[in-house]
Amino acid sequence: MMRPLLIENARIVDPASGTDQPGAVLVEDGRIGDLALGGPVGVPDGAEILDAGGHVLAPGLIDMRVFVGEPGKEYRETLASAGAAAVAGGVTSFVMMPDTAPAVDDGALVDFLIRRAEAQSPARILPAAAITRGLAGREITEFGLLKEAGAVCLTDGAQSIQSSALLRGAMAYAANFDMPFVHHVADAALVGDGVMNEGLFATVLGLKGIPREAETIPLARDLQLAALTGVRYHAAQVSTGGSVALLAAAKSGNGKVTAGVSINNLCLNENDVGRYRTYFKLNPPLRTEEDRRAVVEGLRSGAIDTIHSDHDPQDSEVKRQPFAEASNGAIGLETLLAAALRLVHSGDVDLLTVLRAMTSRPAAILGLDTGRIARGAPADLILVDLDYPWQVTERDLRSRSRNTSFEGARMQGKVLRTIVSGRTVFTHEE
């Protein structure tokens, strides 16, 4: 039996209810026992009292797109190291992509991951199940059994299904089980040998480009098939202004469509590739500054619902390569919140909108009871100093891999304490 915990003198920011005001929260039995905005809160005997010092108390973040190396590539990341990185970044739950070896395409693996994560990870790990067996894009998996085993959504992870007919069938079958259908959109033939955004910058570097249409064409197809099948469709991540326009139009007629964006596409652009810096080789690629502004605007307008880290640990062996031959991906769990706060500090997006995209929106899409500060909800909370200055250094990161796209970046804002199910799992040390 844990002692009750009273967090007082906090600035309570709860996007689900639109709350942003001083108050106190009482945590009991792993849940939020009481919430007092302005007024007094009853303090049970023996409660531990934490003075929040006026800092922001928000729901723990829910990251919808995280790659973990376990099972199969434990040298890149384990459930334990990913969990430690997550809570250090204020992420209390994350959806784990099925891109493991073997791929998560079977109920037994989902069950294994849930049990192992409970034992190993301080953060909640929510397994996503593959849409197709072996992520091969040919045969659909057992959606019903995977859901029963505990998979929170369906996705082929970094893979994009090319066959429209297969997608239609998969979406219809997912609708049958009311499973969120999360799809990374990329036209494989248009991507071709492309390794970065198509344009002058790629031309100067002598690198093959990926046109924006490699994303917008399959997205337009997906949105039509989503309407046809009635599936709960989530475009995993978009990177272009054209995609934002497509989403805005689709959402006006179909309430079941949602979309995510990687923090990288919100904060970085193709110029960050510099001279072949492979930590900025990402999928989707970093686009132009114009596209970056368009996705930020999409977040503001609601065309884009969620922000995720796209945490993708890669070892130096596959990153210290000529750009075209290097693997995609960057880690991001520990820098997600601080990077997202850049949008707040710059005045582009308000705090509630940014936090909503990492708390109540993913919770609603995935049907979770977390992501909010409400009586009875699980006590997944973060205490955040919005202005704390720090610099990202790869050796301080908890991930097993070092491929951060924010190496050396100056950040403003840090998690002081992370609470999962009422238990403090991370405390910032000076």
Partner 1 sequence: MPQDVRPSSTAGRAGDFPPFRQRHLISIADLAQHEIVDLLDRAERMIAVSRQERKSLPTLSGKTQINLFFEPSTRTQSSFEIAGKRLGALVVNMSVKTSSVSKGETLIDTAATLNAMRPDVLVVRHAAAGAVELLSQKVGCSVVNAGDGAHEHPTQALLDALTIRNHKGTLAGLTVAICGDIANSRVARSNLLLLGALNVRTRVIAPRTLLPAGIESLASEVYTDMEKGLEGADVVMMLRLQHERASGKMIPSVREYYRFYGLDAARLRHAKPDAIVMHPGPMNRGVEIDPAIADGERSVITDQVEMGVAVRMAVLDALLPPRNEQ
43 binds partner 1 (CB under 8 A): no
| Residue span binding partner 1 (CB under 8 A) among the ranges 119-127, 148-156, 207-215, 387-395 | 207-215
Task: Give me the sign of the Cα torsion angle 378, 379, 385, 390.
Answer: negative
- N-to-C CA span, the chain: 30
Considering the complex, state which of residue 288 and residue 424 has its C-beta at the smaller distance from partner 1.
Answer: 288
> Cα angle at 166 between 163 and 172, to 5 degrees?
140
Beta-strand relationship, 5-14 and 56-59: parallel
190 binds partner 1 (CB under 8 A): no
What is the Cα–Cα distance from 60 to 382, expressed in whole angstroms?
5
Q: Please state the closest distance from residue 237 (CB atom) to partner 1, in A.
A: 23
Considering the complex, state which of residue 258 and residue 288 has its C-beta at the smaller distance from partner 1.
Answer: 288
Helix segments in 283-330, DSSP class H: 289-301, 316-319
408 binds partner 1 (CB under 8 A): no
Binds partner 1 (CB under 8 A): choice among 38, 39, 46, 206: 206
Nearest CA among 208, 235, 212, 214 for reference residue 224: 235
| Residue span binding partner 1 (CB under 8 A) among the ranges 2-10, 23-31, 99-107, 197-205 | 197-205
201 binds partner 1 (CB under 8 A): yes
Active site annotation includes 305: no
324 binds partner 1 (CB under 8 A): yes
Q: Within positions 263 to 302, which residues make up the interface with partner 1, using CB under 8 A?
A: 275-276
Element (H, E) at 109: helix 107-120
| Residue span binding partner 1 (CB under 8 A) among the ranges 1-9, 81-89, 313-321, 421-429 | 313-321
Compute the radius of gyration of the chain from its Cα atoms: 21
Cβ pair 417, 424 in contact under 8 A = yes
Q: Please state the closest distance from residue 206 (CB atom) to partner 1, in A.
A: 3
> Cα angle at 364 between 355 and 152, to 5 degrees?
110
Binds partner 1 (CB under 8 A): choice among 203, 346, 391, 427: 203
Give the interface with partner 1 as residue ranges (CB under 8 A): 198-209, 275-276, 317, 320-326
Catalytic residue set? 310
